[in-house]
């Protein structure tokens, strides 16, 4: 049903994409679009610590020294697959590079700073591991091939099947270099959905042949708030779009209809985060409601150098609103599949800022590569899983510096994460989730010392490195991997649910044909679909999704790589 106005619940990438397409393809006036959100950037954040609102910080230990930088997470781009994202960024000006679109800015930077990681895997006592040797045996190859070759119409056979269950007769898979690289590149766990693994294998099959170097990874000039979100915000504000921050939509008003399954939103209950007051926002017949129904950074908390990030046990605010809609209508998915199982979705990340380049130079020496190319995983030499197997301890990303526009020339910023935050540190003997920023830095130095145990060991410089740290911000994210949680295909709503007259769902918790979640591609695509639907733009005008899994040459190269 064609509309002329829109209310956006959530101000992340998907809804901002929807707004751009409504304006440019639907020829809407920007003043007819209003955003409500707790913040105005979504999960693609990044900035100085002082810029983050109080809701994220450790309430029990007030932080007086809010210095340094923080990004709760980071995203890798891929031009060949992220076609909708690049189309979107080509429509808006860069926020930092005059005369360029945001897409031209990213392509220009990436052309001069190509990714070629030669230290993709590192292991204590062995140093850099040759990730090009995937380590697959014939059983691994057969099971992976079955996933890739499975027809789309048979995908529901993988409903509610975990990766561990799919490979239950093949534990060897989880001790291969392939798995270590896949696990840390995309943040899969063995308890994640094998349906999602299949989609990644389909859409990223050409990366299979070069995963050890990540040459297909493209990066933005700066952090993704300044290089992607800020251009969107600037453009939409210039077009007259209204952004109302510190607001949470807490409940719905739906029309009573003779058709019990017809979904028509008539009002939204909106809470002011600052003073707790609530108002009812009426939704008229000309207005669409476009809702991002889940966020991987909901309920995130932060610590600092001397305090760990506390656990926030609140159910995600966007998922809570989604859940209220599912209590009324049967075809809107199952939020609890994603937001009621933290043990399989939580992460702890950290953003480390230094006042000199000593740590950066040590990482450069150990990995034998310059900043901007490294996505390094450290693998324990001792069994750390319940099965007595080795696995990844931690991962770091060393971006090209500066990573923030306000970063000083003498400062370095490094990001890292623990995919399994309940595991025990090897050098700081407590769970990662309970570590302060200082202790995470000590664990990082210890892990690097295992990789390079010679006379120039980084441990010799530990005191000096710790003294150089301006801050190290631990971030607890209970839902960071929630989008990979085990589920059935019907557990996510479609962008435009059946019988909906004015409600659309966007983001990483919606069901889209062929799309793989946890990507700016799927987020942008969902917003594009919602915009086209409500603006009356034919779906044939959507950006074409490439299907590399149908290309014989790509499949042949992937098959050859399996035997490396």
Nearest one of 436, 472, 440, 464 to 362, comparing CA atoms:
464
* Segments in 243-350 forming alpha helices (H): 317-326, 336-339
List C-alpha distances in Å: 132 to 136, 148, 429.
Answer: 11, 20, 33
Strand, coil or helix: 106: helix
Return d(Cα 174, Cα 159) in angstroms, integer: 21
List C-alpha distances in Å: 40 to 23, 180, 247, 512.
Answer: 19, 35, 10, 25
Cis amide bond preceding 84, omega within 30: no
Return d(Cα 377, Cα 361) in angstroms, integer: 18
CB crowding 502-540: b at 16 or more within 10 Å, else e: bbbbbbbbbbbeebbbbbbbbbbbbbbbbbbbbbebeee
Query: Would strands 121-123 and 278-282 be described as parallel, antiparallel, or unpaired?
Result: unpaired
200 is an active site residue:
yes
Neighbours of 433 (CB within 10 A): 19
Neighbours of 279 (CB within 10 A): 10
Neighbours of 189 (CB within 10 A): 18
**Quick check: 374 and 397 in contact, CB under 8 A?**
yes
- Strands (E) in 4-135, as ranges, are 5-9, 33-37, 47-48, 69-70, 121-123, 127-129
Residue 493 dihedral angles phi and psi, to the nearest 5°: -75, 155
Residue 511 dihedral angles phi and psi, to the nearest 5°: -95, 125
User: End-to-end alpha-carbon separation of the chain, Å?
Assistant: 53
Strand, coil or helix: 237: helix
Query: Would strands 301-302 and 469-477 be described as parallel, antiparallel, or unpaired?
Result: antiparallel
Residue 232: in which H helix or E strand, if any? helix 230-238
Please identify which residue in the block is written with the tokens 């119409």.
Answer: 153
Q: Which are the contacts of 430, defined by CB distance < 8 A and separation ≥ 6?
A: 424, 439
Instruction: List the catalytic residue out of 69, 200, 206, 548.
Output: 200
Give 499's Cβ-side CA count (13 Å radius): 13
Cα torsion angle, 316, 500, 288, 506, sign: positive
Return d(Cα 316, Cα 339) in angstroms, integer: 7
Catalytic residue positions, numbered: 200
């Amino acid at each position: 049903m064609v509309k002329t106005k829109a209310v956006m619940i959530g101000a992340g990438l998907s809804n901002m994409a929807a707004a751009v397409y409504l304006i440019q393809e639907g020829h809407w006036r920007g003043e007819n679009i209003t955003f409500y959100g707790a913040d105005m950037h979504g999960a693609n954040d990044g900035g100085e610590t002082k810029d983050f609102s109080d809701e994220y910080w450790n309430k029990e230990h007030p932080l007086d020294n809010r210095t340094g930088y923080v990004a709760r997470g980071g995203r890798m781009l891929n031009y060949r697959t992220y076609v909708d994202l690049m189309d979107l960024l080509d429509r808006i000006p860069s926020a930092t590079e005059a005369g360029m679109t945001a897409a031209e800015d990213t392509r220009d930077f990436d052309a001069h700073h190509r990714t070629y990681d030669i230290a993709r895997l590192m292991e204590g006592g062995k140093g850099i591991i040759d990730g090009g040797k995937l380590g697959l045996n014939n059983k691994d190859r057969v099971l992976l091939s079955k996933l890739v070759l499975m027809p789309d119409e048979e995908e529901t056979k993988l409903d509610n099947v975990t990766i561990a269950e799919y490979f239950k007769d093949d534990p060897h898979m989880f001790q291969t270099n392939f798995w270590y690289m896949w696990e840390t590149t995309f943040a899969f766990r063995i308890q994640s959905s094998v349906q999602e693994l299949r989609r990644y294998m389909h859409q990223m099959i050409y990366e299979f042949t070069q995963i050890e170097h990540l040459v297909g990874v493209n990066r933005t000039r700066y952090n993704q708030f300044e290089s992607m979100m800020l251009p969107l915000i600037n453009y939409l504000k210039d077009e007259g779009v209204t952004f109302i921050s510190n607001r949470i939509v807490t409940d719905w008003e739906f029309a009573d209809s003779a058709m019990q399954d017809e979904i028509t939103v008539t009002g939204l209950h909106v809470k002011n985060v600052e003073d707790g007051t609530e108002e009812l926002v009426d939704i008229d017949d000309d207005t669409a409601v476009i809702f991002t129904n889940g966020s991987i950074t909901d309920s995130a908390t932060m610590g600092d150098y001397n305090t760990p990030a506390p656990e926030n046990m609140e159910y995600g605010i966007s998922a809570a609103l989604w859940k209220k809609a599912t209590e009324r209508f049967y075809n809107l998915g199952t939020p609890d599949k994603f937001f009621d199982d933290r043990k399989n979705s939580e992460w702890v990340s950290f953003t480390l800022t230094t006042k000199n380049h000593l740590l950066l130079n040590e990482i450069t020496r150990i990995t034998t590569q310059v900043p901007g190319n490294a996505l390094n995983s450290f693998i324990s030499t001792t069994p750390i899983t319940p099965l007595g197997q080795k696995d990844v301890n931690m991962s770091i990303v060393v971006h090209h510096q500066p990573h923030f526009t306000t970063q000083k020339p003498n400062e370095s910023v490094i990001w890292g994460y623990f995919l399994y935050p309940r595991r025990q540190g090897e050098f700081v003997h407590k769970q990662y989730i309970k570590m302060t920023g200082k202790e995470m830095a000590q664990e990082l130095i210890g892990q690097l010392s295992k990789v390079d145990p010679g006379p120039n060991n980084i441990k010799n410089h530990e005191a000096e490195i710790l003294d150089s740290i301006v801050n190290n911000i631990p971030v607890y994210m209970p839902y960071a991997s929630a989008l990979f949680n085990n589920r059935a295909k019907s557990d996510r709503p479609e962008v435009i649910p059946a019988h909906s007259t004015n409600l659309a769902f966007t983001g990483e918790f919606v069901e889209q044909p062929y799309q793989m979640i946890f990507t700016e591609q799927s987020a942008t695509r969902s917003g594009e679909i919602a915009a086209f639907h409500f603006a009356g733009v034919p779906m044939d005008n959507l950006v074409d999704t490439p299907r590399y899994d149908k290309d014989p040459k790509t499949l042949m190269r992937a098959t050859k790589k399996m035997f490396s």
